[in-house]
Chains A and B, each alone.
Chain A
Amino acid sequence: MGPPEPEQRFEELYLAHYPAIATYVRRRSGSPDDIADVIAETFTTAWRRLNDVPEGDGARLWLYGVARRTLANHFRGEERRAALAVRLREEITTWVNPVTGAESAYEAFKRLSDDDRELLALVAWEGLGGAEIAKVLGCSRGAARLRLHRARKRLAKELTRLDPDLTRSGQRAAVPAKGRS
Protein backbone atom coordinates (compact mmCIF):
# COMPACT_ATOMS: atom_id res chain seq x y z
CA MET A 1 0.00 0.00 0.00
CA GLY A 2 0.89 3.61 -0.38
CA PRO A 3 3.19 5.88 1.50
CA PRO A 4 1.94 7.92 4.41
CA GLU A 5 3.08 11.52 4.36
CA PRO A 6 6.63 11.58 5.70
CA GLU A 7 5.76 14.41 8.09
CA GLN A 8 2.92 12.39 9.52
CA ARG A 9 4.97 9.25 9.86
CA PHE A 10 7.74 11.19 11.55
CA GLU A 11 5.32 12.75 13.98
CA GLU A 12 3.95 9.33 14.90
CA LEU A 13 7.46 7.97 15.37
CA TYR A 14 8.44 10.97 17.46
CA LEU A 15 5.39 10.89 19.72
CA ALA A 16 5.76 7.14 20.25
CA HIS A 17 9.43 7.21 21.17
CA TYR A 18 10.22 10.68 22.49
CA PRO A 19 9.82 9.71 26.17
CA ALA A 20 12.15 6.71 25.83
CA ILE A 21 14.79 8.63 23.89
CA ALA A 22 14.59 11.73 26.09
CA THR A 23 15.00 9.45 29.12
CA TYR A 24 17.96 7.70 27.52
CA VAL A 25 19.69 10.99 26.76
CA ARG A 26 18.82 12.55 30.11
CA ARG A 27 20.47 9.67 31.93
CA ARG A 28 23.69 10.04 30.00
CA SER A 29 24.39 13.72 29.64
CA GLY A 30 24.95 16.42 32.16
CA SER A 31 23.74 19.83 31.09
CA PRO A 32 20.29 20.81 29.82
CA ASP A 33 21.94 22.20 26.69
CA ASP A 34 23.62 18.87 25.96
CA ILE A 35 20.39 16.98 26.54
CA ALA A 36 18.43 19.28 24.22
CA ASP A 37 21.15 19.18 21.54
CA VAL A 38 21.38 15.41 21.55
CA ILE A 39 17.60 14.88 21.50
CA ALA A 40 17.27 17.36 18.63
CA GLU A 41 20.12 15.80 16.68
CA THR A 42 18.90 12.24 17.24
CA PHE A 43 15.46 13.02 15.90
CA THR A 44 16.86 15.10 13.04
CA THR A 45 18.82 12.02 11.99
CA ALA A 46 15.63 9.97 12.32
CA TRP A 47 13.83 12.43 10.02
CA ARG A 48 16.54 12.31 7.38
CA ARG A 49 16.76 8.54 7.56
CA LEU A 50 13.04 8.00 8.08
CA ASN A 51 12.95 5.36 5.38
CA ASP A 52 15.54 3.31 7.25
CA VAL A 53 13.75 3.30 10.59
CA PRO A 54 12.47 -0.23 11.30
CA GLU A 55 8.85 -0.88 12.14
CA GLY A 56 7.56 -1.68 15.62
CA ASP A 57 9.84 -1.97 18.62
CA GLY A 58 12.84 -2.09 16.31
CA ALA A 59 12.34 1.66 15.91
CA ARG A 60 13.12 2.28 19.58
CA LEU A 61 16.31 0.22 19.43
CA TRP A 62 17.32 1.98 16.21
CA LEU A 63 16.79 5.35 17.91
CA TYR A 64 18.81 4.26 20.95
CA GLY A 65 21.63 3.40 18.58
CA VAL A 66 21.45 6.82 16.92
CA ALA A 67 21.26 8.59 20.29
CA ARG A 68 24.29 6.64 21.49
CA ARG A 69 26.39 7.68 18.48
CA THR A 70 25.10 11.24 18.70
CA LEU A 71 26.14 11.44 22.34
CA ALA A 72 29.61 10.13 21.53
CA ASN A 73 30.07 12.60 18.69
CA HIS A 74 28.58 15.44 20.65
CA PHE A 75 31.12 15.17 23.38
CA ARG A 76 33.97 14.75 20.94
CA GLY A 77 32.93 17.69 18.84
CA GLU A 78 33.12 21.36 19.58
CA GLU A 79 30.59 23.08 21.73
CA ARG A 80 27.55 23.54 19.61
CA ARG A 81 24.40 25.30 20.61
CA ALA A 82 21.87 24.65 17.92
CA ALA A 83 19.12 27.15 17.40
CA LEU A 84 16.79 24.17 17.59
CA ALA A 85 14.69 23.25 20.55
CA VAL A 86 14.78 26.62 22.31
CA ARG A 87 11.67 25.93 24.31
CA LEU A 88 12.65 22.35 25.08
CA ARG A 89 15.96 23.66 26.38
CA GLU A 90 14.14 25.89 28.85
CA GLU A 91 11.93 23.05 30.00
CA ILE A 92 14.89 20.77 30.59
CA THR A 93 16.50 23.27 32.96
CA THR A 94 13.60 22.61 35.30
CA TRP A 95 14.16 18.85 35.37
CA VAL A 96 15.30 17.73 38.78
CA ASN A 97 18.35 15.55 38.83
CA PRO A 98 18.61 12.75 41.34
CA VAL A 99 21.39 12.68 43.87
CA THR A 100 23.61 9.81 42.90
CA GLY A 101 27.08 11.26 43.25
CA ALA A 102 27.36 10.68 46.96
CA GLU A 103 27.14 6.93 46.78
CA SER A 104 30.38 5.05 46.78
CA ALA A 105 28.89 2.49 44.44
CA TYR A 106 28.31 5.30 41.96
CA GLU A 107 31.99 6.16 42.17
CA ALA A 108 32.77 2.57 41.23
CA PHE A 109 30.35 2.73 38.33
CA LYS A 110 31.94 5.93 37.07
CA ARG A 111 35.34 4.28 37.04
CA LEU A 112 34.26 1.77 34.42
CA SER A 113 34.92 2.38 30.75
CA ASP A 114 32.21 4.11 28.72
CA ASP A 115 31.44 0.83 26.97
CA ASP A 116 31.00 -1.09 30.22
CA ARG A 117 28.80 1.60 31.71
CA GLU A 118 26.65 1.67 28.59
CA LEU A 119 26.13 -2.11 28.65
CA LEU A 120 25.13 -2.10 32.29
CA ALA A 121 22.89 0.92 31.80
CA LEU A 122 21.07 -0.57 28.82
CA VAL A 123 20.10 -3.49 31.07
CA ALA A 124 19.37 -1.64 34.29
CA TRP A 125 18.00 1.65 32.96
CA GLU A 126 16.39 0.78 29.66
CA GLY A 127 15.49 -2.77 30.67
CA LEU A 128 16.89 -4.33 27.50
CA GLY A 129 17.86 -7.97 27.02
CA GLY A 130 20.86 -9.43 25.21
CA ALA A 131 19.30 -9.50 21.74
CA GLU A 132 18.07 -5.92 22.04
CA ILE A 133 21.43 -4.69 23.27
CA ALA A 134 23.06 -6.36 20.29
CA LYS A 135 20.79 -4.32 18.00
CA VAL A 136 21.55 -1.05 19.74
CA LEU A 137 25.30 -1.66 19.71
CA GLY A 138 25.38 -3.26 16.27
CA CYS A 139 27.13 -6.45 17.43
CA SER A 140 26.15 -10.11 17.62
CA ARG A 141 24.02 -11.46 20.46
CA GLY A 142 26.85 -13.62 21.66
CA ALA A 143 29.23 -10.67 21.76
CA ALA A 144 26.66 -8.56 23.63
CA ARG A 145 26.14 -11.25 26.26
CA LEU A 146 29.86 -11.78 26.71
CA ARG A 147 30.61 -8.08 26.99
CA LEU A 148 27.77 -7.64 29.47
CA HIS A 149 29.05 -10.50 31.58
CA ARG A 150 32.50 -8.95 31.66
CA ALA A 151 31.13 -5.49 32.50
CA ARG A 152 29.20 -6.92 35.43
CA LYS A 153 32.32 -8.68 36.68
CA ARG A 154 34.38 -5.52 36.39
CA LEU A 155 31.81 -3.50 38.35
CA ALA A 156 31.70 -6.18 41.05
CA LYS A 157 35.49 -5.98 41.25
CA GLU A 158 35.46 -2.19 41.49
CA LEU A 159 32.88 -2.36 44.25
CA THR A 160 34.98 -4.81 46.20
CA ARG A 161 38.07 -2.70 45.76
CA LEU A 162 36.26 0.42 46.88
CA ASP A 163 34.64 -1.05 49.93
CA PRO A 164 35.82 -4.53 50.85
CA ASP A 165 33.58 -4.61 53.90
CA LEU A 166 30.57 -4.14 51.75
CA THR A 167 31.33 -7.17 49.67
CA ARG A 168 33.23 -9.45 51.95
CA SER A 169 32.40 -12.57 50.06
CA GLY A 170 33.25 -10.93 46.76
CA GLN A 171 30.11 -12.55 45.48
CA ARG A 172 27.23 -10.61 46.85
CA ALA A 173 28.46 -7.26 45.71
CA ALA A 174 26.81 -4.44 47.62
CA VAL A 175 23.35 -5.83 48.00
CA PRO A 176 20.97 -2.92 47.57
CA ALA A 177 18.94 -1.94 50.59
CA LYS A 178 15.65 -2.80 48.94
CA GLY A 179 16.79 -6.37 48.38
CA ARG A 180 16.80 -8.55 45.35
CA SER A 181 13.89 -9.56 43.26
Chain B
Amino acid sequence: MTQDIDQIVARFAAPPVTEVSEGARELIHEITAGSPAPAPARRGRRLSPRVAIPVGGLLTAGVVALTWLQPGTSASALNIRQEGGYYVIEIKDLYANPKMYEEQLRRYGLDVSLKVRPATAAFERQVFPTAPDNSFVNEIQGINPPGPCDMVGDACAIGMKIPVGFKGTALVEVSRKARPGEKYDITTPWSIKGEPMHCVPFANKTVAEVRAMLTERGVRISGFAVRDPTADKKAGGVREQASVPDSWLVSGGFLTEPGVAMVMAQPTPLSQRVIDTRNKAEGCAVS
Protein backbone atom coordinates (compact mmCIF):
# COMPACT_ATOMS: atom_id res chain seq x y z
CA MET B 1 0.00 0.00 0.00
CA THR B 2 2.79 2.34 0.93
CA GLN B 3 4.33 2.40 -2.52
CA ASP B 4 0.98 2.76 -4.23
CA ILE B 5 0.02 5.70 -2.09
CA ASP B 6 3.38 7.39 -2.58
CA GLN B 7 3.15 6.93 -6.33
CA ILE B 8 -0.32 8.38 -6.44
CA VAL B 9 0.85 11.43 -4.51
CA ALA B 10 3.91 11.74 -6.77
CA ARG B 11 1.59 12.29 -9.72
CA PHE B 12 0.35 15.57 -8.21
CA ALA B 13 3.78 17.18 -8.12
CA ALA B 14 4.37 20.21 -10.31
CA PRO B 15 7.51 19.89 -12.42
CA PRO B 16 10.75 20.68 -10.62
CA VAL B 17 12.60 23.96 -10.94
CA THR B 18 15.92 22.94 -12.39
CA GLU B 19 17.88 26.14 -12.89
CA VAL B 20 18.75 29.35 -11.15
CA SER B 21 17.21 31.90 -13.51
CA GLU B 22 18.34 35.49 -14.00
CA GLY B 23 15.53 36.72 -11.76
CA ALA B 24 16.56 34.25 -9.08
CA ARG B 25 20.15 35.49 -9.31
CA GLU B 26 19.00 39.07 -8.89
CA LEU B 27 17.20 38.06 -5.72
CA ILE B 28 20.53 37.01 -4.13
CA HIS B 29 21.79 40.58 -4.27
CA GLU B 30 18.45 42.09 -3.35
CA ILE B 31 18.48 40.04 -0.16
CA THR B 32 22.06 40.67 0.92
CA ALA B 33 21.86 44.38 0.11
CA GLY B 34 18.44 44.98 1.62
CA SER B 35 18.49 43.01 4.87
CA PRO B 36 20.58 43.26 8.02
CA ALA B 37 23.73 41.18 8.07
CA PRO B 38 23.47 37.66 9.54
CA ALA B 39 22.91 37.43 13.28
CA PRO B 40 25.29 35.51 15.53
CA ALA B 41 24.75 31.76 15.52
CA ARG B 42 22.22 30.40 17.97
CA ARG B 43 23.96 27.09 18.26
CA GLY B 44 27.47 26.43 19.48
CA ARG B 45 29.35 26.24 16.23
CA ARG B 46 32.05 23.67 15.79
CA LEU B 47 34.47 26.09 14.21
CA SER B 48 37.27 27.26 16.36
CA PRO B 49 37.44 30.12 16.92
CA ARG B 50 33.72 30.69 16.79
CA VAL B 51 32.98 33.34 14.27
CA ALA B 52 30.12 35.55 15.23
CA ILE B 53 28.75 37.76 12.52
CA PRO B 54 26.64 40.33 14.25
CA VAL B 55 23.35 41.92 13.41
CA GLY B 56 23.09 45.67 13.51
CA GLY B 57 20.13 45.86 15.89
CA LEU B 58 20.37 47.97 18.98
CA LEU B 59 18.81 47.03 22.25
CA THR B 60 18.53 49.17 25.28
CA ALA B 61 18.18 47.31 28.50
CA GLY B 62 19.24 47.22 32.05
CA VAL B 63 19.27 49.69 34.84
CA VAL B 64 21.47 48.00 37.37
CA ALA B 65 25.09 49.08 37.40
CA LEU B 66 27.39 46.24 38.30
CA THR B 67 31.09 45.79 38.04
CA TRP B 68 31.46 42.95 35.65
CA LEU B 69 34.66 41.91 34.01
CA GLN B 70 36.86 42.62 36.97
CA PRO B 71 39.02 39.71 38.07
CA GLY B 72 38.04 39.18 41.67
CA THR B 73 39.65 37.68 44.69
CA SER B 74 36.60 36.68 46.68
CA ALA B 75 36.04 33.07 47.63
CA SER B 76 32.91 32.73 45.48
CA ALA B 77 33.16 33.06 41.71
CA LEU B 78 29.74 34.67 41.33
CA ASN B 79 27.89 37.34 43.21
CA ILE B 80 24.19 36.44 43.14
CA ARG B 81 21.39 38.51 44.60
CA GLN B 82 17.64 38.52 44.17
CA GLU B 83 15.95 41.58 42.77
CA GLY B 84 12.59 42.16 41.06
CA GLY B 85 11.87 38.49 40.43
CA TYR B 86 15.34 37.84 39.03
CA TYR B 87 18.62 36.48 40.22
CA VAL B 88 21.03 39.22 39.32
CA ILE B 89 24.42 37.70 38.69
CA GLU B 90 27.81 39.31 38.61
CA ILE B 91 30.88 37.29 37.68
CA LYS B 92 33.51 38.11 40.24
CA ASP B 93 36.15 35.77 38.98
CA LEU B 94 36.21 35.55 35.19
CA TYR B 95 38.91 32.90 35.27
CA ALA B 96 37.27 30.49 37.70
CA ASN B 97 36.77 26.82 36.90
CA PRO B 98 33.30 26.54 35.24
CA LYS B 99 32.41 23.93 37.87
CA MET B 100 32.56 26.63 40.53
CA TYR B 101 29.97 28.72 38.67
CA GLU B 102 27.79 25.69 38.15
CA GLU B 103 27.89 24.63 41.81
CA GLN B 104 26.96 28.10 42.93
CA LEU B 105 24.07 28.35 40.45
CA ARG B 106 22.83 24.89 41.53
CA ARG B 107 22.46 26.17 45.07
CA TYR B 108 19.82 28.56 43.72
CA GLY B 109 18.05 25.66 41.99
CA LEU B 110 19.29 26.71 38.56
CA ASP B 111 20.31 24.12 35.99
CA VAL B 112 22.55 26.63 34.29
CA SER B 113 26.15 26.25 33.17
CA LEU B 114 28.34 29.23 32.56
CA LYS B 115 31.35 29.46 30.28
CA VAL B 116 33.48 32.55 30.06
CA ARG B 117 35.31 32.76 26.76
CA PRO B 118 37.95 35.11 25.43
CA ALA B 119 36.48 37.19 22.63
CA THR B 120 37.55 39.83 20.20
CA ALA B 121 36.80 43.47 21.08
CA ALA B 122 33.37 43.61 19.41
CA PHE B 123 32.10 40.79 21.62
CA GLU B 124 33.85 41.38 24.91
CA ARG B 125 30.64 41.77 26.84
CA GLN B 126 28.19 39.45 25.18
CA VAL B 127 25.84 37.16 27.08
CA PHE B 128 24.64 34.29 24.94
CA PRO B 129 22.29 31.76 26.58
CA THR B 130 21.25 28.61 24.74
CA ALA B 131 19.17 25.53 25.58
CA PRO B 132 20.41 21.96 24.96
CA ASP B 133 18.64 21.99 21.57
CA ASN B 134 20.72 25.07 20.66
CA SER B 135 17.76 27.41 20.71
CA PHE B 136 18.26 30.84 22.21
CA VAL B 137 16.95 31.22 25.78
CA ASN B 138 15.10 34.51 25.97
CA GLU B 139 14.50 34.38 29.71
CA ILE B 140 18.17 34.79 30.54
CA GLN B 141 19.36 38.27 29.74
CA GLY B 142 22.45 40.38 29.92
CA ILE B 143 22.29 43.48 32.05
CA ASN B 144 23.60 46.51 30.25
CA PRO B 145 24.74 49.75 31.84
CA PRO B 146 22.26 52.64 31.58
CA GLY B 147 21.96 54.17 28.14
CA PRO B 148 21.90 52.62 24.71
CA CYS B 149 24.25 49.84 23.71
CA ASP B 150 25.62 50.52 20.26
CA MET B 151 27.71 47.38 20.09
CA VAL B 152 26.72 44.76 17.55
CA GLY B 153 25.18 41.69 19.13
CA ASP B 154 24.21 43.84 22.13
CA ALA B 155 27.61 43.09 23.63
CA CYS B 156 27.55 45.62 26.48
CA ALA B 157 26.62 43.44 29.44
CA ILE B 158 28.02 44.02 32.87
CA GLY B 159 25.95 41.30 34.46
CA MET B 160 23.12 38.93 33.71
CA LYS B 161 19.75 38.03 35.15
CA ILE B 162 17.83 34.79 35.35
CA PRO B 163 14.17 34.67 36.42
CA VAL B 164 13.69 33.25 39.92
CA GLY B 165 12.18 29.80 39.43
CA PHE B 166 13.72 29.31 35.97
CA LYS B 167 13.20 25.61 35.34
CA GLY B 168 15.00 25.20 32.02
CA THR B 169 18.47 23.94 31.27
CA ALA B 170 20.80 26.48 29.77
CA LEU B 171 24.39 27.13 28.84
CA VAL B 172 25.30 30.78 29.13
CA GLU B 173 28.37 31.82 27.20
CA VAL B 174 29.80 35.08 28.41
CA SER B 175 32.59 36.76 26.50
CA ARG B 176 35.53 38.49 28.13
CA LYS B 177 38.60 40.35 26.98
CA ALA B 178 41.46 38.06 25.99
CA ARG B 179 44.78 38.23 27.77
CA PRO B 180 47.86 39.09 25.66
CA GLY B 181 48.80 36.04 23.61
CA GLU B 182 45.53 34.27 24.36
CA LYS B 183 43.63 33.00 21.31
CA TYR B 184 40.06 34.19 20.89
CA ASP B 185 37.31 31.61 21.19
CA ILE B 186 34.95 34.06 19.53
CA THR B 187 35.96 36.37 16.76
CA THR B 188 34.34 38.31 13.94
CA PRO B 189 35.36 40.22 10.81
CA TRP B 190 37.75 43.05 11.67
CA SER B 191 35.44 45.56 10.01
CA ILE B 192 32.61 45.21 12.55
CA LYS B 193 32.03 48.05 15.02
CA GLY B 194 34.46 47.70 17.89
CA GLU B 195 37.10 46.04 15.72
CA PRO B 196 40.25 47.82 14.51
CA MET B 197 39.34 48.05 10.79
CA HIS B 198 35.77 49.30 11.26
CA CYS B 199 34.98 51.77 8.45
CA VAL B 200 38.60 51.68 7.26
CA PRO B 201 38.69 51.43 3.44
CA PHE B 202 40.83 48.30 3.18
CA ALA B 203 38.78 46.33 0.63
CA ASN B 204 40.64 45.75 -2.67
CA LYS B 205 43.77 47.43 -1.29
CA THR B 206 46.98 45.44 -1.77
CA VAL B 207 48.38 43.25 0.98
CA ALA B 208 51.29 45.71 1.30
CA GLU B 209 48.92 48.66 1.81
CA VAL B 210 46.77 46.83 4.31
CA ARG B 211 49.82 45.63 6.24
CA ALA B 212 50.74 49.31 6.75
CA MET B 213 47.18 50.14 7.87
CA LEU B 214 47.30 47.31 10.38
CA THR B 215 50.73 48.26 11.69
CA GLU B 216 49.41 51.78 12.41
CA ARG B 217 46.75 50.13 14.55
CA GLY B 218 49.17 47.88 16.38
CA VAL B 219 48.15 44.72 14.55
CA ARG B 220 50.48 42.25 12.84
CA ILE B 221 49.60 39.61 10.24
CA SER B 222 49.97 35.98 11.26
CA GLY B 223 48.79 34.41 8.03
CA PHE B 224 46.43 34.50 5.08
CA ALA B 225 43.11 32.83 4.40
CA VAL B 226 42.82 32.05 0.72
CA ARG B 227 39.73 30.81 -1.04
CA ASP B 228 40.16 27.29 -2.29
CA PRO B 229 37.24 25.38 -3.79
CA THR B 230 38.98 22.11 -2.96
CA ALA B 231 39.28 22.98 0.75
CA ASP B 232 37.01 21.41 3.32
CA LYS B 233 33.54 22.93 3.14
CA LYS B 234 33.41 23.01 6.91
CA ALA B 235 36.36 25.36 6.87
CA GLY B 236 34.30 27.65 4.65
CA GLY B 237 36.15 26.71 1.47
CA VAL B 238 39.30 28.53 2.54
CA ARG B 239 42.77 27.34 3.45
CA GLU B 240 45.44 29.02 5.48
CA GLN B 241 48.86 29.89 4.15
CA ALA B 242 51.80 31.75 5.63
CA SER B 243 52.27 34.27 2.83
CA VAL B 244 50.80 35.57 -0.42
CA PRO B 245 52.22 38.03 -2.98
CA ASP B 246 52.20 41.61 -1.66
CA SER B 247 50.26 42.63 -4.79
CA TRP B 248 47.24 40.45 -3.91
CA LEU B 249 44.06 42.26 -2.92
CA VAL B 250 42.52 42.13 0.52
CA SER B 251 38.85 41.27 0.93
CA GLY B 252 38.68 41.03 4.72
CA GLY B 253 40.22 39.63 7.83
CA PHE B 254 39.77 38.93 11.50
CA LEU B 255 41.79 38.98 14.66
CA THR B 256 42.80 35.65 16.12
CA GLU B 257 44.27 37.07 19.34
CA PRO B 258 44.98 40.59 20.60
CA GLY B 259 47.07 42.43 18.00
CA VAL B 260 47.26 39.51 15.56
CA ALA B 261 45.23 39.18 12.36
CA MET B 262 44.46 36.62 9.70
CA VAL B 263 44.00 38.34 6.34
CA MET B 264 41.74 37.19 3.53
CA ALA B 265 43.28 37.96 0.17
CA GLN B 266 43.09 36.91 -3.47
CA PRO B 267 44.48 37.94 -6.84
CA THR B 268 41.15 39.39 -8.07
CA PRO B 269 39.14 42.31 -6.65
CA LEU B 270 35.78 42.10 -4.86
CA SER B 271 32.89 43.63 -6.75
CA GLN B 272 31.92 47.16 -5.69
CA ARG B 273 28.46 45.79 -4.96
CA VAL B 274 29.79 43.47 -2.26
CA ILE B 275 31.84 46.29 -0.74
CA ASP B 276 28.89 48.70 -0.76
CA THR B 277 26.62 46.08 0.79
CA ARG B 278 29.09 45.42 3.54
CA ASN B 279 29.69 49.12 4.26
CA LYS B 280 25.97 49.72 4.43
CA ALA B 281 25.44 46.79 6.79
CA GLU B 282 28.28 47.96 9.03
CA GLY B 283 27.05 51.54 9.16
CA CYS B 284 29.99 52.97 7.20
CA ALA B 285 29.99 55.46 4.31
CA VAL B 286 29.11 53.91 0.96
CA SER B 287 31.25 55.18 -1.94
Contact = CB atoms under 8 A, between A and B. Distances in A.
A146 interface: no
Contact of A176 (B7, B40, B235, B278): B7
A7 B278 contact: yes
Interface in B250-275: 251-254, 262, 264, 270, 274
Contacts of A44: 31, 35
A119 to B, nearest CB: 10
Contact of A51 (B36, B45, B233, B237): B45
A49 B233 CA distance: 18
Interface in A1-20: 1-12, 14-15, 18-19
Nearest to A41: B31
A118 B210 CA distance: 53
B9 A3 contact: no
Given A55-B233, A98-B15, A173-B8, A84 B27 contact: yes
B4 A172 contact: yes
Interface stretch (B18-26, B59-67, B83-91, B96-104): B18-26
Interface string B1-34: 1111111111111111111111110111011101
A173 B1 contact: yes
Nearest to B133: A138
B234 to A, nearest CB: 6
Nearest to B232: A1
Interface in A148-181: 152, 155-156, 159, 171-176, 178, 180-181
B5 A155 contact: yes
Contacts of A91: 21-24
A120 interface: yes
A113 interface: no
B3 A4 contact: no
B16 A19 contact: yes
Interface stretch (A21-29, A63-71, A72-80): A21-29
Contacts of A18: 17, 20, 24
Contacts of A11: 28, 32
B12 A106 contact: yes
A88 B19 CA distance: 12
Interface residues of B, number: 69
Given A44-B31, A51-B41, A88 B26 contact: yes
Given A100-B12, A173-B4, A26 B251 contact: no
Interface in A31-72: 39-40, 43-44, 47-52, 55-56
Given A52-B43, A109-B12, A3 B51 contact: yes
A123 B10 CA distance: 9
Nearest to A180: B3
Given A22-B24, A44-B35, A2 B9 contact: no
B12 to A, nearest CB: 5
A105 interface: yes
A44 to B, nearest CB: 5
Given A11-B32, A48-B35, 16 more contacts: A1-B47, A2-B51, A2-B238, A3-B254, A8-B274, A40-B27, A43-B28, A48-B38, A85-B27, A91-B22, A97-B14, A103-B11, A103-B12, A121-B13, A124-B13, A181-B7
Interface of B: 1-24, 26-28, 30-32, 34-43, 45, 47, 51-53, 55, 188-189, 225, 227, 231, 233-240, 251-254, 262, 264, 270, 274, 277-278
29 contacts: A1-B225, A3-B236, A7-B32, A14-B28, A22-B24, A40-B31, A47-B31, A47-B38, A48-B35, A48-B55, A51-B39, A51-B40, A51-B42, A52-B42, A84-B34, A85-B27, A88-B23, A89-B23, A96-B15, A103-B12, A105-B8, A106-B12, A109-B12, A152-B2, A156-B5, A172-B4, A173-B5, A173-B8, A174-B4
